[in-house]
Copies of this chain bind each other. A is one copy, B any other.
Protein backbone atom coordinates (compact mmCIF):
# COMPACT_ATOMS: atom_id res chain seq x y z
CA UNK A 1 0.00 0.00 0.00
CA UNK A 2 1.37 3.41 -1.03
CA UNK A 3 0.80 6.02 1.65
CA UNK A 4 0.80 9.75 1.03
CA UNK A 5 1.72 11.94 4.00
CA UNK A 6 1.13 15.68 4.00
CA UNK A 7 2.38 17.76 6.93
CA UNK A 8 5.69 16.99 8.59
CA UNK A 9 5.58 19.08 11.74
CA UNK A 10 6.43 17.82 15.22
CA UNK A 11 3.64 15.25 15.11
CA UNK A 12 3.58 14.39 11.39
CA UNK A 13 7.31 13.75 11.01
CA UNK A 14 7.31 11.14 13.81
CA UNK A 15 4.10 9.54 12.57
CA UNK A 16 5.43 9.30 9.00
CA UNK A 17 8.63 7.81 10.37
CA UNK A 18 6.66 5.14 12.23
CA UNK A 19 4.76 4.29 9.03
CA UNK A 20 8.09 3.81 7.21
CA UNK A 21 9.41 1.70 10.08
CA UNK A 22 6.33 -0.49 9.68
CA UNK A 23 7.24 -1.07 6.02
CA UNK A 24 4.90 1.31 4.21
CA UNK A 25 6.05 3.10 1.05
CA UNK A 26 5.73 6.84 1.62
CA UNK A 27 5.16 9.85 -0.61
CA UNK A 28 5.56 13.02 1.45
CA UNK A 29 4.92 16.73 1.14
CA UNK A 30 5.18 19.78 3.37
CA UNK A 31 4.92 23.49 2.66
CA UNK A 32 8.41 23.75 4.13
CA UNK A 33 10.33 21.56 1.66
CA UNK A 34 13.32 21.06 4.00
CA UNK A 35 11.04 19.16 6.40
CA UNK A 36 10.86 16.36 3.82
CA UNK A 37 14.61 15.76 3.88
CA UNK A 38 14.95 13.39 6.86
CA UNK A 39 12.27 11.11 5.40
CA UNK A 40 13.57 11.48 1.87
CA UNK A 41 17.01 10.39 3.12
CA UNK A 42 15.38 7.20 4.36
CA UNK A 43 13.71 6.47 1.03
CA UNK A 44 10.42 8.40 1.04
CA UNK A 45 9.49 10.01 -2.25
CA UNK A 46 9.01 13.78 -2.13
CA UNK A 47 6.04 15.04 -4.15
CA UNK A 48 5.85 18.46 -5.82
CA UNK A 49 2.32 19.20 -4.62
CA UNK A 50 -0.61 17.66 -2.77
CA UNK A 51 -2.24 16.54 -6.03
CA UNK A 52 0.88 14.54 -6.83
CA UNK A 53 0.80 12.96 -3.37
CA UNK A 54 -2.76 11.87 -4.13
CA UNK A 55 -1.90 10.56 -7.61
CA UNK A 56 0.95 8.43 -6.24
CA UNK A 57 -0.85 7.06 -3.14
CA UNK A 58 -3.67 4.72 -2.15
CA UNK A 59 -4.31 6.42 1.17
CA UNK A 60 -3.57 10.12 1.64
CA UNK A 61 -2.93 11.23 5.23
CA UNK A 62 -2.83 14.88 6.23
CA UNK A 63 -1.87 16.42 9.55
CA UNK A 64 -1.46 20.15 9.18
CA UNK A 65 -2.56 23.06 11.39
CA UNK A 66 -6.11 24.35 11.29
CA UNK A 67 -9.39 24.02 9.39
CA UNK A 68 -8.38 26.40 6.53
CA UNK A 69 -5.09 24.51 6.06
CA UNK A 70 -6.92 21.21 5.64
CA UNK A 71 -9.30 22.86 3.21
CA UNK A 72 -6.34 24.20 1.21
CA UNK A 73 -4.53 20.83 1.20
CA UNK A 74 -7.66 19.12 -0.06
CA UNK A 75 -9.34 21.61 -2.39
CA UNK A 76 -6.87 24.29 -3.54
CA UNK A 77 -5.56 24.12 -7.10
CA UNK A 78 -2.96 21.29 -7.12
CA UNK A 79 -4.64 20.03 -3.96
CA UNK A 80 -5.37 16.42 -3.01
CA UNK A 81 -8.80 16.40 -4.68
CA UNK A 82 -7.20 16.91 -8.10
CA UNK A 83 -5.12 13.75 -7.74
CA UNK A 84 -7.85 11.47 -6.44
CA UNK A 85 -9.42 8.56 -8.27
CA UNK A 86 -11.78 5.75 -7.35
CA UNK A 87 -10.77 3.59 -4.41
CA UNK A 88 -8.41 6.07 -2.81
CA UNK A 89 -9.03 7.16 0.78
CA UNK A 90 -8.36 10.51 2.45
CA UNK A 91 -7.47 10.45 6.15
CA UNK A 92 -7.23 13.80 7.89
CA UNK A 93 -5.49 13.57 11.26
CA UNK A 94 -5.42 17.32 11.94
CA UNK A 95 -7.61 18.56 14.77
CA UNK A 96 -10.18 20.81 13.09
CA UNK A 97 -13.82 21.82 13.27
CA UNK A 98 -16.19 18.80 13.32
CA UNK A 99 -18.66 20.65 11.09
CA UNK A 100 -16.00 21.51 8.50
CA UNK A 101 -14.87 17.88 8.55
CA UNK A 102 -18.39 16.75 7.73
CA UNK A 103 -18.49 19.20 4.85
CA UNK A 104 -15.11 18.08 3.47
CA UNK A 105 -16.20 14.45 3.66
CA UNK A 106 -19.36 15.34 1.78
CA UNK A 107 -17.45 17.13 -0.98
CA UNK A 108 -15.10 14.16 -1.37
CA UNK A 109 -18.02 11.73 -1.35
CA UNK A 110 -19.42 13.59 -4.37
CA UNK A 111 -16.16 12.57 -6.10
CA UNK A 112 -16.78 8.98 -4.94
CA UNK A 113 -13.97 9.21 -2.37
CA UNK A 114 -14.15 8.05 1.24
CA UNK A 115 -12.73 10.21 3.98
CA UNK A 116 -11.91 9.50 7.62
CA UNK A 117 -11.30 12.06 10.33
CA UNK A 118 -8.68 10.62 12.65
CA UNK A 119 -7.31 13.19 15.09
CA UNK A 120 -4.80 12.01 17.65
CA UNK A 121 -3.83 12.54 21.27
CA UNK A 122 -0.61 11.79 23.08
CA UNK A 123 1.67 14.64 22.06
CA UNK A 124 5.13 14.49 20.54
CA UNK A 125 6.02 11.63 22.87
CA UNK A 126 3.07 9.52 21.70
CA UNK A 127 3.90 10.35 18.08
CA UNK A 128 7.56 9.33 18.49
CA UNK A 129 6.80 6.15 20.40
CA UNK A 130 3.84 5.15 18.24
CA UNK A 131 1.52 5.18 21.23
CA UNK A 132 -0.99 7.83 20.11
CA UNK A 133 -4.66 7.56 20.85
CA UNK A 134 -6.44 7.82 17.48
CA UNK A 135 -10.16 8.60 17.35
CA UNK A 136 -11.64 7.82 13.96
CA UNK A 137 -14.88 9.01 12.36
CA UNK A 138 -16.19 7.63 9.05
CA UNK A 139 -17.42 4.38 7.54
CA UNK A 140 -16.48 1.32 9.58
CA UNK A 141 -15.23 -0.67 6.56
CA UNK A 142 -12.97 2.20 5.48
CA UNK A 143 -11.65 2.42 9.03
CA UNK A 144 -10.87 -1.29 8.94
CA UNK A 145 -9.02 -0.97 5.63
CA UNK A 146 -6.83 1.75 7.16
CA UNK A 147 -6.31 0.01 10.50
CA UNK A 148 -2.79 -1.28 9.68
CA UNK A 149 -1.73 2.33 9.12
CA UNK A 150 -3.29 3.52 12.36
CA UNK A 151 -1.72 0.65 14.27
CA UNK A 152 1.70 1.73 13.01
CA UNK A 153 1.16 5.18 14.54
CA UNK A 154 -0.91 4.57 17.65
CA UNK A 155 -1.86 2.19 20.42
CA UNK A 156 -5.43 3.04 21.29
CA UNK A 157 -7.14 3.17 17.90
CA UNK A 158 -10.91 3.41 18.08
CA UNK A 159 -13.67 3.82 15.53
CA UNK A 160 -15.94 6.30 17.29
CA UNK A 161 -18.71 7.04 14.77
CA UNK A 162 -19.41 8.71 11.45
CA UNK A 163 -17.63 11.63 9.76
CA UNK A 164 -16.96 14.41 12.26
CA UNK A 165 -17.26 12.19 15.32
CA UNK A 166 -13.50 11.63 15.43
CA UNK A 167 -13.17 15.39 15.72
CA UNK A 168 -15.92 15.53 18.34
CA UNK A 169 -14.16 12.96 20.53
CA UNK A 170 -10.98 14.97 20.06
CA UNK A 171 -12.86 18.06 21.20
CA UNK A 172 -13.83 16.24 24.39
CA UNK A 173 -10.18 15.28 24.73
CA UNK A 174 -8.97 18.87 24.35
CA UNK A 175 -11.52 20.18 26.83
CA UNK A 176 -9.88 17.88 29.37
CA UNK A 177 -6.32 18.70 28.28
CA UNK A 178 -6.89 22.46 28.54
CA UNK A 179 -8.25 22.25 32.06
CA UNK A 180 -5.67 19.70 33.22
CA UNK A 181 -2.91 22.06 32.05
CA UNK A 182 -4.58 24.93 33.88
CA UNK A 183 -4.81 22.71 36.99
CA UNK A 184 -1.07 22.06 36.92
CA UNK A 185 -0.34 25.71 36.22
CA UNK A 186 -2.39 27.06 39.13
CA UNK A 187 -0.96 24.47 41.53
CA UNK A 188 2.61 25.41 40.59
CA UNK A 189 1.86 29.14 40.83
CA UNK A 190 0.34 28.66 44.28
CA UNK A 191 3.23 26.47 45.43
CA UNK A 192 5.81 28.95 44.18
CA UNK A 193 4.12 31.92 45.86
CA UNK A 194 3.61 29.92 49.09
CA UNK A 195 7.34 29.21 49.18
CA UNK A 196 7.07 25.44 48.81
CA UNK A 197 9.70 23.27 47.16
CA UNK A 198 8.25 22.71 43.69
CA UNK A 199 9.97 19.41 43.09
CA UNK A 200 8.56 17.97 46.31
CA UNK A 201 5.09 19.28 45.50
CA UNK A 202 5.25 17.74 42.05
CA UNK A 203 6.44 14.42 43.39
CA UNK A 204 3.72 14.18 46.02
CA UNK A 205 0.72 15.37 44.07
CA UNK A 206 1.48 13.40 40.89
CA UNK A 207 1.04 10.14 42.73
CA UNK A 208 -2.43 10.67 44.20
CA UNK A 209 -5.87 11.77 43.08
CA UNK A 210 -4.36 14.84 41.39
CA UNK A 211 -2.31 12.67 39.05
CA UNK A 212 -2.54 13.31 35.32
CA UNK A 213 -0.67 12.79 32.06
CA UNK A 214 0.04 16.53 32.13
CA UNK A 215 1.55 16.49 35.62
CA UNK A 216 3.63 13.41 34.82
CA UNK A 217 4.86 14.51 31.41
CA UNK A 218 4.83 18.32 31.46
CA UNK A 219 5.34 18.90 35.20
CA UNK A 220 9.05 18.01 35.07
CA UNK A 221 9.49 20.39 32.10
CA UNK A 222 8.04 23.27 34.14
CA UNK A 223 10.43 22.41 36.98
CA UNK A 224 13.37 22.59 34.54
CA UNK A 225 11.93 25.75 32.94
CA UNK A 226 11.94 23.85 29.64
CA UNK A 227 9.25 25.43 27.50
CA UNK A 228 10.17 23.72 24.24
CA UNK A 229 7.05 22.50 22.47
CA UNK A 230 5.71 18.98 22.56
CA UNK A 231 2.40 20.56 21.64
CA UNK A 232 2.43 24.30 20.95
CA UNK A 233 0.29 26.87 22.75
CA UNK A 234 -0.96 28.16 19.36
CA UNK A 235 -2.33 24.72 18.57
CA UNK A 236 -3.87 24.17 22.00
CA UNK A 237 -5.43 27.61 21.62
CA UNK A 238 -6.82 26.64 18.22
CA UNK A 239 -8.25 23.38 19.63
CA UNK A 240 -9.88 25.22 22.53
CA UNK A 241 -11.34 27.79 20.14
CA UNK A 242 -12.94 24.86 18.27
CA UNK A 243 -14.16 23.38 21.56
CA UNK A 244 -15.59 26.69 22.72
CA UNK A 245 -17.34 27.27 19.37
CA UNK A 246 -18.80 23.75 19.56
CA UNK A 247 -20.04 24.27 23.11
CA UNK A 248 -21.70 27.54 22.12
CA UNK A 249 -23.26 25.93 19.05
CA UNK A 250 -24.66 23.20 21.30
CA UNK A 251 -26.05 25.77 23.74
CA UNK A 252 -23.82 24.72 26.66
CA UNK A 253 -21.31 27.53 27.28
CA UNK A 254 -19.33 25.72 29.96
CA UNK A 255 -17.19 28.10 31.97
CA UNK A 256 -14.06 25.98 32.37
CA UNK A 257 -13.54 25.72 28.62
CA UNK A 258 -14.49 29.36 28.21
CA UNK A 259 -11.68 30.18 30.65
CA UNK A 260 -9.02 27.92 29.11
CA UNK A 261 -9.95 29.17 25.64
CA UNK A 262 -9.40 32.75 26.80
CA UNK A 263 -6.18 32.05 28.73
CA UNK A 264 -4.50 30.11 25.91
CA UNK A 265 -5.51 32.83 23.44
CA UNK A 266 -4.03 35.46 25.75
CA UNK A 267 -0.86 33.39 26.04
CA UNK A 268 -0.56 33.20 22.25
CA UNK A 269 -1.25 36.94 21.95
CA UNK A 270 1.42 37.63 24.56
CA UNK A 271 4.00 35.92 22.32
CA UNK A 272 4.07 32.51 24.02
CA UNK A 273 2.47 30.69 21.07
CA UNK A 274 5.57 28.75 20.03
CA UNK A 275 6.14 27.44 23.56
CA UNK A 276 4.80 24.08 24.61
CA UNK A 277 1.50 24.10 26.48
CA UNK A 278 3.40 23.98 29.80
CA UNK A 279 4.37 27.57 28.94
CA UNK A 280 0.88 28.68 29.99
CA UNK A 281 2.49 29.37 33.37
CA UNK A 282 4.44 32.22 31.75
CA UNK A 283 1.19 34.09 31.19
CA UNK A 284 1.15 34.78 34.92
CA UNK A 285 3.40 37.21 36.70
CA UNK A 286 4.00 35.41 40.00
User: Quick check: is A189 within 8 A (CB to CB) of the other chain?
Assistant: yes
Chain B residue contacts of A161, Cβ below 8 A = 196-197, 200
User: Quick check: is A259 within 8 A (CB to CB) of the other chain?
Assistant: yes
A98 to chain B minimum Cβ distance, whole angstroms, is 8
Contact size range, A? 35 or more
A 183-242 contacts with B by CB, 8 A: 183-191, 193-194, 196-197, 200-201, 203-205, 207-215, 217, 231
A254 to B263, CA, bound (A): 11
**For the complex, would chain A's binding face be called helix, strand, loop or mixed by DSSP majority?**
helix
Kindly report how many copies of this chain are found in the complex they form together.
Answer: 2
Chain B residue contacts of A168, Cβ below 8 A = 191, 194, 196
Interface pair A182/B179, CB less than 8 Å apart: yes
Interface pair A250/B190, CB less than 8 Å apart: yes
Query: Which of A122, A187, A197: most chain B CB closer than 10 A?
Result: A187
Query: Which of A171, A209, A213, A215: most chain B CB closer than 10 A?
Result: A209
Query: Which of A123, A208, A257: most chain B CB closer than 10 A?
Result: A208
Interface pair A204/B169, CB less than 8 Å apart: yes
Interface pair A208/B133, CB less than 8 Å apart: yes
Chain B residue contacts of A284, Cβ below 8 A = 252, 254
- Ordered nearest first, which 10 A-B pairs have the shortest CB separation? A121-B208, A179-B183, A133-B208, A176-B210, A212-B212, A211-B213, A172-B187, A156-B207, A176-B183, A173-B205
